Amino acid sequence: MSKDVRAIFAGSFDPITNGHIDIIERAAKMFSHLEVGLLINPNKKTLFTMDERVDLIREATKHLDNVSVISFDGLLIDYCMKNNIGVLVRGVRTIADMEYELQMAHMNKELNDGLETIILPTSKTYSFISSSLIKEVLHFDADVSNLVPTCVIEKLKEKNK
Ligand code: PNS
């Protein structure tokens, strides 16, 4: 563990998946504190509201003592500077992901040289999961119970009542 290093794992988490949880659990072991940062984007149409997503992430990460959940808007680097966060954690599944992640890492470094990006490869088991694909198959009532935390399934059932 990197003592006294605060890190953030940011995203839109609509919804949080087992792939995200895998990255969160592994990053939580590496840093003294990990924030899961939910990007507030009122213009983006989402399946779950912001409050629902925050609640779901909190529920799905409640077993991790050094993880907290926040929401932010604006530039991620600004949030990090104001909150003493030194590392951005990102997960990658594919080479295509890597190209986008490298661009973001370089841009964030350009904007704030003091911040580092750590890129973790997603575990093989979860390498095909994305929130968008989950939503696509859900639209056709597919069973995604192996792919997302139980609380997400419960929330979906509640919504469909
Ligand atoms: O879940 P996503 O879409 O992969 O998350 C992307 C996210 C939220 C990490 C990225 O879009 C972001 O940091 N947005 C905040 C605005 C910002 O800082 N943009 C510059 C990125 S180089």
CA 37 to ligand 1: nearest atom:
8
Domain boundaries, the chain: 2-159
Give the chain's end-to-end CA distance (angstroms, integer): 44
Dist. CA 17–CA 61, nearest whole Å? 11
pLDDT in tens, 118-141: 999 999 999 999 999 999 998 898
Question: Rounded to two decimals, what is the model's pTM?
Answer: 0.96
Contact 47, 15 (CB under 8 A): yes
Domain at 2-159: CATH code: 3.40.50.620
Helices 50-60 and 150-159, interaxial angle, to 10°?
Answer: 150
Contact 21, 56 (CB under 8 A): no
Dist. CA 138–CA 65, nearest whole Å? 31
Question: Which residue of the set 26, 33, 58, 93 is catalytic?
Answer: 93
Show the tokens assigned to 60. Answer: 């799905």
Residue 93 is a catalytic residue: yes
pLDDT in tens, 68-91: 999 999 999 999 999 999 999 999
In the structure, which protein residues have their CB atom closer than 6 angstroms to any atom of ligand 1?
Answer: 10-12, 39, 75-76, 104, 107-108
Question: Which residue of the set 6, 53, 90, 131 is catalytic?
Answer: 131
Q: Supply the residue whose CA is at minimum distance from atom 22 of ligand 1.
A: 104
Secondary structure class of 149 (helix, strand, coil): coil
